[in-house]
Amino acid sequence: MTSLNFACLIITFIAAVGLRLGMNHRSDQKELLKLRTDERTLRNTIAEHDARTSEANRHSSDHRSELDQINAELRAISDEIVRTAPVPDPETEGRWPVDRPYFHLPKRLLDQISYSMFTADGKPTEETKTLFGLTPHEREMLWQAWTDFRSDLQELQIRSAERLPDAPVVANSVERSVRFHMHDLTQELAGLRSRLSARIEHDLGPTRARLLADPLNAQISPLTSPLGDREVIIAFQADRQPDGSIRHWLRFSDPAGTVMYKQPVEFQTPNPPLNHGESPAVIGTGSPLGPDSVLWNYRHLFGDQPLLSPP
């Protein structure tokens, strides 16, 4: 009886193990089936994404082709407009077309035209801009080159200027002067001129730079003394006239003291006060000098104020 019971227990244990193994096998099969289903879903998603990407690429290629075609048509239209546009021709229009905003002038005549190259504040004049077709960028470069030249020249003159003793100032003096001994600047000024010319040639090209050479020299000349770059004594002088008025002069002498040039200095007339007690306002930008004054180019030495005031 005991042996029979033991045998039954063994059989029962074996059956339980088999059942457990069968259940694990079925669970593994379900998990494998789920994994295979997820794999198919993922593959389908990737395939759909690839299909959409391919379609988008095809549309993008079509759009690029359309854009290239449009650009080609626009270029063709532009080329046709340029090709068929009438070219200004002095042979058919004449030198002075009445109904046109331009006239025809051979470039070889540009060096025979008189004009100021720069305005008083150093900007290219309308004549310069028009005759040489200066672009806004070229105008800016030309203005900057001229401004730098004038600044360098003034610094050179200040370094060279030797202040001479002033005459004693007495009450009710009828004369006062400020004098500077300017040493020979021939070599130094030649270097400044050369750098300015090279800069203009670089910015505007050799042809326009050559045609601008004479107007440029004419613009530089007033910045130096009437005696050129040589040694000179420059005096700013004020004389009180018998009627009480004041006359100012700019006087240029050789080193021996012989006066070679004596030019009157004109100050601008102040505007009358607006209200009682107000100081008069000076015409212009706050300076009693105007750009046409002979003292304008020597303000860095003498300032811009009168030496004597009316009584």
Condensed to tens digits (0 to 9), the pLDDT of residues 122-152 reads 899 999 998 888 999 999 999 999 999 999 9
Query: CA nearest 299: which of 277, 256, 267, 262?
Result: 267
Q: What is the pTM of this model?
A: 0.60
- Do residue 257 and residue 309 come from a single domain? yes
pLDDT of 285 strictly over 50:
no
> What order do you get walking across the sheet with 175-182 strand by strand?
161-163, 175-182, 232-240, 246-253, 259-265
What's the structural domain count of the chain?
A: 2
- Compute the distance between CA of residue 12 and CA of residue 227 in angstroms, rounded to an integer: 136
- Do residue 234 and residue 195 come from a single domain? no
Identify the band that residue 210 occupies on the pLDDT scale cut at 50, 70 and 90: very high
- Do residue 249 and residue 158 come from a single domain? no
- Do residue 305 and residue 247 come from a single domain? yes
pLDDT of 85 strictly over 70:
no
- Compute the distance between CA of residue 47 and CA of residue 147 in angstroms, rounded to an integer: 70
Identify the band that residue 281 occupies on the pLDDT scale cut at 50, 70 and 90: very low
- Do residue 196 and residue 288 come from a single domain? no
Identify the band that residue 155 occupies on the pLDDT scale cut at 50, 70 and 90: very high
- Do residue 158 and residue 210 come from a single domain? yes
User: If you average pLDDT over residues 296-306, what whole number do you get?
Assistant: 89
Residues in the chain: 311
Condensed to tens digits (0 to 9), the pLDDT of residues 212-260 reads 999 999 999 888 766 666 788 999 999 888 888 888 989 998 888 888 8
- State the first-to-last Cα distance of the chain, in angstroms, to the nearest integer: 157
202 inside domain: yes
- Do residue 174 and residue 297 come from a single domain? yes
Query: CA nearest 265: which of 230, 308, 211, 227?
Result: 308
- Do residue 154 and residue 214 come from a single domain? yes
- Do residue 179 and residue 292 come from a single domain? yes
Q: Range of 139's domain?
A: 102-162+186-223
3-state secondary structure of 66: helix
Rounded to 10°, the helix 186-204/213-220 angle is 140
Half-sphere exposure of 279 (CA within 13 A, CB side): 4
Which residues, in sequence order, are CB contacts of 164 under 8 Å at separation 6+?
179, 180, 181, 233
- Do residue 203 and residue 246 come from a single domain? no
41 inside domain: no
Count the Cβ atoms, other than its own, within 10 Å of residue 196.
Answer: 19
- Do residue 170 and residue 240 come from a single domain? yes
157 inside domain: yes
Q: If you search the block for the tokens 């004009």, which residue do you land on?
A: 115
User: If you average pLDDT over residues 147-160, what whole number do you get?
Assistant: 92
- Do residue 174 and residue 233 come from a single domain? yes
pLDDT for 172 = 57
